[in-house]
Structure 1
Amino acid sequence: MSHRTDLELVRIVASREVSGQLRSKSFWASVIVTAAMMCLSFALTGVLKGDGDDAPEVAVVGERTTIAAALRSEVTVEVYRDTGAARTAVREKAVDAAVLPGGEVLVLRALPADLGRTIRQAAQTAAHVEQLTRLGAGPGDTERALAPPVLRVGVLDAHAAEVQERTMTAGLGVFLLFVLMLISGLGIAQGVAEEKSSRIVEVLLAKVRPWHLLVGKIAGLGAAALVQILLMMTAALSAAIGFDALNAPLGAIGTAANLLLWFVPGYVLFVTLYAVAGALVSRQEDVNHVIGPVNMLQMLSLAGPALAVRGGPDDSALTVVSMVPGLSWAAMPMRMAVGAVPWWQIGLSFALMLLAIAGLVRIGGRVYRGGLLKYGGIVKVREALRGAVH
C-alpha cells in the first residue's frame, strides 16, 4: 500500500468514529449538562461577588450628625427625621439597620457581626467628638477626630489573586478532563470489545490493517473529544467573564489553553491504552477486568494537582511527577499555573510525553493486532505479542 492509501484508510476509520460520536445523544447531553452546570456556578459566583462588594446601608435618626459622619467612612448612611420612618425603612429592607435616638440599633432579624462592630466603633468615635466639642474643641479638631486613621499597607504578593484564579482554573479543568478521559476510555474499550465479540472486526480487517483501526480510532475519538472540550470551555469561560467572576480573565483563558495543549498528548496516550485493553477480551463483560491497571495509572495523574496546591511549583515531588509521561499532562499545567517553571523542564516533559506515545503506539499496535483475532477469554499481553509476529 502507498503512503497515501494508508492515510486515506486512517481518515476513513477516523471519520467513522467522529460521525458516530457526533450522532450520539449522550455526547451532546454531557456537553449541555456540564456546560450548564459550570455556567450556573460562575453565575452564582458573580452574584455572590457582587453582593459582597455592596456596602451596608444604615439609617440614622435625628440631628446627631457626628455618628452619621463617623459611619460614612464604612457604610452608606441615610438620615431620617423620625423613628417611624426609620422603622419603615428597616421593615421594607431599604436599609440594613437603623441607629435610633438613645443608642438603640434596630434591625429586621439579626445584626450582622461586622456591621455591629462598625456601628459600635462609630458610636464610640461620635461620643469622643461630642465630648471634645463640649470641652471647646474647634471644627478642625472634630474633623480630625472623625477622620479614619490612614493605614500603611504592605503587599507581599500583589499577584496572589491572579495565581489563585489560575490555580483554580487549572484544578477544575484537570478534574473535568480526567472524568471525560475516564468515560471516553471506558467507551473506547467497550467499543473495541464489541467489534471483536460481534466479529465485525474480521470484516474490517479484510479491508484495513490493524494499525489503521488503532490510529483511526485514536484520531477520530480524539477529534470528537476536542470538540466536546472546546464547547464546554468556551461556555464556561464566557459565563465566567460575563458574570464578572474572574479578576484576571486573560490569565484564566491562558491557563485553560495551556491545559488543553497538555491534555491532547495525555488523551492520546490513555486512549491507546484503553483501545489495546479492549482488544484483549472476547466479551464486553470482561472489559472492567483489563482496564483496571489503566484506571490506576490515570488516577495517579491526579497527584500532580494535589502536590501543586500543597507545595507550589518548586516542590521536589511535583517536579518529578511533572516529568513522568502519563502524569505530566495534569501535573505540568498545574505547576505552570502556580508559578514559574524553567523552560527546559517544560520542553523536556513534553518531549518525553511524545516519545512515550510513539513507543506506546508501536508496542500497543502489536498487542492490538495480536489480540483482535484471538478469542476465548482474556488474552494475555505476551500471547498477543506472539500472535502479532505471525
Structure 2
Amino acid sequence: MNAAYEKLLGGRSGLIGLLILGVLLLVIFPLGLDIFRLNLVGKYLSYAFVAVGLVLCWGYGGILSLGQGVFFGVGGYCMAMFLKLEASDPISTKIQSTPGIPDFMDWNQITSLPTMWQPFHSFSFTVLAVLAVPTLLALIIGMAMFKRRVGDVYFSIVTQAIAAILSILIIGQQGLTGGVNGITDLKTLMGWDIRTDSAKMILYFVNAGLLFACILFGRYILTSKLGRLLMAMRDKEERVRFSGYDVASFKVFVFCVAAMFSAIGGAMFTLQVGFMSPSFVGIVPSIEMVIYAAVGGRMSLLGAVYGTLLVNFGKTYFSETFPELWLFLMGGLFIAVVMYFPNGLAGVYEKQGKRLIAKFSRKPKAAEPESVKPKAAAKPDKTDIAIDGANLEASK
C-alpha cells in the first residue's frame, strides 16, 4: 500500500497536487462554465496529453522532440476516419455520385472506399489503431535515431522535418485525407450524437479521466528505477552507457510512451471538436506544445497541465479582447515566464506552495504547565555580594 501510495500518488505532496487539480477540473470548471467554455477547456486538456508526454520525454529523458504534433495528428486522424465512415452511410450520402463513401472522396472522383479505410469500420480496431499506429511510428523513428546515437539538436531537427513531411503528405493526398480542409462534419460515435450538450459534458469527463490515468502512469514510471535512469541519462549519458545499460532502448521506450499519450490526446480532440486537419500536425503546433510543457515546468507532470491551460486561456482571451495585439501579448507572456520563472509554474509551487502547505499543516506547540517550567534563578542582591567579599578577605 505504501509503495503504491509513493509510486502512483507521489506521497503526501503529490496527493495534494492531484486533489487540487481534480477539484479544478472535475468540480469548479463544470459548475462554473457554460457548455461552450467547458468544451473549450476539454480541447485544451487534449493538448495537455502531449505536454505530459513531453515531461517524460524532454524533462526527464532529455529528448527534445519538436514533432509531437505528428503523433497527436495521427491519433486524431485514426478516430476521425471511424467517425467519418459512420457519418457517410448510404442514406446520408445518397446525393453523391458514389453513396457510402466520404464526401471529399466523391469530390475527387474516387468511386470505392480505399483499402486503408476499410478496417476503420470497426470501433475496436480504431481504438487499437489510435494506440498502436503512433507508437509504432515512434518506435521506427526512435530505433533509427537512438541506435545511431543521434540526439540533442539533431534529433529535434529530424522530428521537425518529419512533422513538415507528414503535413505536406496529408495535404497532397486530398482524396484519402481530405487535404487542407481535413476530415470534417463528424456527427456520431456508434450512433451516439456527439454534438449535443450532454455528449460534450460526458466527453469532457472522459477526457479528464484519461488525462489523470496518463499522469498516474507517468508518475509510476518516474518513481521507478527507469525514472532514475532517465535522469541519469539526461545528465551523464556516457556514464550510464559505460555502466552496462542500453541507453538507446530506454530512450526509445520513453519516446514511444510520449507518442502514445499524444495520440490519445489527438483522438479526444477529434471527438470533442468534431474535426481533424493537417494544421495540428505541422511544425508550429508541435513547437506550441513544447511551450505548454516549458511554461508549466518541464519537470512536473501536473505543471504541464497547468501550463497548457494557462497558455491556451491566454490565447483565447487575448485573441478575443485584443485581436490585433494578441500575438505580441502572448510573446510577452512567454518572455516573462522564461525570465522570471525559469522552472515554470511548478517552480513557483515548489518555492511558495509547499511553504504555505507546511505552514498551515504545522501543529501549534502545547503550552507547558507552570509546574513543569524551570524556575529562573534569583539574581543575587548587592548586599549579599558585599558580605561574601568581606568574608573572603577575613579568611585570608
Which structure: larger Rg? Answer: 1
Higher relative contact order (CA 8 A, sep 6+): 2
TM-score of the pair, normalised by structure 1: 0.25
TM-score of the pair, normalised by structure 2: 0.25
